[in-house]
Structure 1
Amino acid sequence: MKHGTLTTTGNKVELRFERRLAHPPEKVWRALTDSKELAHWFPARIEGAREAGAALRFFFAEGEPTTGKISVFEPPRVLEYTWEGDLLRWELKPEGKGCLLVFTTIPADRANVSRDATGWHFCLDNLEAAVDGNPAAGFDKERFSSLNAEYAARFGLGSFPAFLLSAANRVADASLRIPGVEAYVFDGADGTQLTLCHAKSDADTGEQWREFDEYLVVLEGRYVLRINGMDMELGAGREFVIPRGARISGRFTAGTRTIHALGGRKFERAGT
């Protein structure tokens, strides 16, 4: 499978790609480290010694150079370095006459993880083409947009857009807060209320009686809804309507984001 996969631990995410290549590790290693080979597929020009502890500089056609550092250099097996806060790790594992390339990266900003996955997907496609002796594919804006939308659907955005995270909309009353969950609330003119929740760690809402009808949708992660004694596991993209009068509780897995639309007001905003 050429698509990257996402693992979430707390507030950190790790992207992982696996590509089986019909070439020995030594040849692929040159593509990962030699400047002339990197030019065929890597998004920036890299300057710096190829050895553990070496400082790196990354150059694009425009703009100031960015920096990084090699932390692991074990030819032709493992290469690991940082790039402006992102950790990039390349592993080559022999398989018959070829090898398995495992690329993992821990992005510094999880909010851009879908975009990052799309970019690295394209880079790895061009790396495969380069070691096969084929020309790199040119940038296809339509394909990039389509693949980015696909990764966004797989992974979610990682966080809510900044314009929704006003301090005035944070849940104010400490007695109403859920430990480990950052929540923002918006009041409708008709008395309805919309709440955005982002679990920064595993969290439990505790049991409560629902005073209003509630529409729940899980944007990302995993949420276990316990309703009238029955557990329902809801993954990304799942939605559920909770009727008024139900006895409920919920369990968030770290990184989970949910939206709750209530038929009446429950939370107080910081601005009230």
Structure 2
Amino acid sequence: MKHGTLTTKGNKVELRFERRLAHPPEKVWRALTDSKELAHWFPARIEGAREAGAQLRFFFEEGDPGSGKMHVFDPPRVLEYTWEGDLLRWELKPEGTGSLLVFTTIPADRANVSRDATGWHFCLDNLEASVDGNPAAGFDKERFSALNADYAARFGLGSFPAFMLGAANRVADASLSIPGVEAYVFNGADGTQLTLCHAKSDAETGEQWRDVDEYVVVLEGSYVVRINGMDMHLGAGREFVIPRSARVSGRYTAGTRTIHARGSKPPEQSDS
């Protein structure tokens, strides 16, 4: 199976690909490490010594270079290095006259997994073509879009992007009366408020009275909002508006992510 798979490793996730290639490990190893061979399939030019502990630089045609470090260089079996916080590991095992290539990566940001899976899928297709002596496939926007949508459906984002999770916006669980829910709040100049919630476990909120309208969208998982004693079950992709003056409580299943946008208080209710 050429598609990548995703597994949880502690508080991180691992993206894994397996490719069976009709060439011995020594030939595939050259494709993984030799600069001229890398140019056929790898997305950047790598500069740095091919030895454990070496500092690496990654260059694109445009933009600033990235940095990384070589951790394992064991020809023709294991190659492991970091690239801008992502761990990349390549393992080769002989299989008859060919070899099994196992590529795993632990991304620094879980929210990038679907995009990363699509990109590495294309890279591995081109690696396979390269060792077979065939030209790399040109970039196909329609295929990329379809494959990205496929991976997004398989994996989801799983978390909010790291740039949205600044410590200054982190809300303590006790403040929200939602133990088990990680939340980040962004306040608008006009008094509106946006809250990102990620349930780390099953969780339930206490009942509250809403003094402003609230918009809720469920990105992943399942959220039940109880309004004036009536349950509304919201799955991934559902959105809902909770009206002002409602009595509201909520129930999360573990892994659920929601966005809550609350309007500003009307003038007569504004603090003074």
User: Does TM, normalized by the shorter one, top 0.5?
Assistant: yes
- State the match for 2:183 in structure 1: 182
Q: CA deviation at 1:161?
A: 6.6
Query: Do 2:55 and 2:69's aligned partners in 1 also have CA atoms closer than 8 Å?
Result: yes
C-alpha distance after superposition, 1:206-260 (max 9, x if no partner): 698999xxxx99744x6799xxxxxxxxxx9598xxxxxxxx965515xx43579
Q: CA deviation at 1:144?
A: 1.2
- State the match for 1:46 in structure 2: 46
Q: CA deviation at 1:198?
A: 1.1
- Larger mean Cα displacement after TM superposition, 168-177 or 154-163: 168-177
Matches within 5 A, 1:8-27: 8-9=8-9, 11-27=11-27
- State the match for 1:86 in structure 2: 86
- The aligned amino acid for 1:49 is A
Query: Do 1:171 and 1:185's aligned partners in 2 also have CA atoms closer than 8 Å?
Result: no
Matches within 5 A, 1:112-261: 112-160=112-160, 174=175, 176-182=177-183, 197-199=197-199, 202-205=200-203, 219-220=219-220, 251-253=253-255, 256-258=256-258
Matches within 5 A, 1:90-101: 90-101=90-101
Q: CA deviation at 1:137?
A: 0.4
SS in structure 2 opposite 1:150?
Answer: helix
Query: Do 2:109 and 2:161's aligned partners in 1 also have CA atoms closer than 8 Å?
Result: no
User: 1:196 and 1:68, CA in 2 relative to 1: closer, same or farther beyond 3 A?
Assistant: closer
- The aligned amino acid for 2:107 is P
User: 1:207 and 1:80, CA in 2 relative to 1: closer, same or farther beyond 3 A?
Assistant: same
Query: Do 2:15 and 2:117's aligned partners in 1 also have CA atoms closer than 8 Å?
Result: yes
C-alpha separation in 1, matches of 2:198 and 2:61: 38
Q: CA deviation at 1:179?
A: 2.8
C-alpha separation in 2, matches of 1:250 and 1:159: 15
The TM-score with structure 1 as length reference comes to 0.70
Does 2:7 correspond to 1:7? Answer: yes
C-alpha separation in 1, matches of 2:144 and 2:217: 28
Query: Do 2:219 and 2:257's aligned partners in 1 also have CA atoms closer than 8 Å?
Result: yes
C-alpha separation in 1, matches of 2:237 and 2:7: 19
Higher relative contact order (CA 8 A, sep 6+): 1
C-alpha separation in 2, matches of 1:127 and 1:135: 10
Structure 1: which 5+ residue stretches go unaligned? 187-193, 226-235, 240-247, 262-270
User: 1:91 and 1:171, CA in 2 relative to 1: closer, same or farther beyond 3 A?
Assistant: same
C-alpha separation in 1, matches of 2:28 and 2:110: 29
SS in structure 2 opposite 1:252?
Answer: coil
Q: CA deviation at 1:50?
A: 0.8
- Aligned residue pairs total 245
User: 1:52 and 1:238, CA in 2 relative to 1: closer, same or farther beyond 3 A?
Assistant: same
C-alpha separation in 2, matches of 1:150 and 1:83: 25
C-alpha separation in 2, matches of 1:84 and 1:185: 28
- State the match for 2:102 in structure 1: 102
C-alpha separation in 2, matches of 1:156 and 1:51: 36
C-alpha distance after superposition, 1:51-78 (max 9, x if no partner): 1111111111112222111100111110
The TM-score with structure 2 as length reference comes to 0.70
- State the match for 1:59 in structure 2: 59
Q: CA deviation at 1:46?
A: 0.9
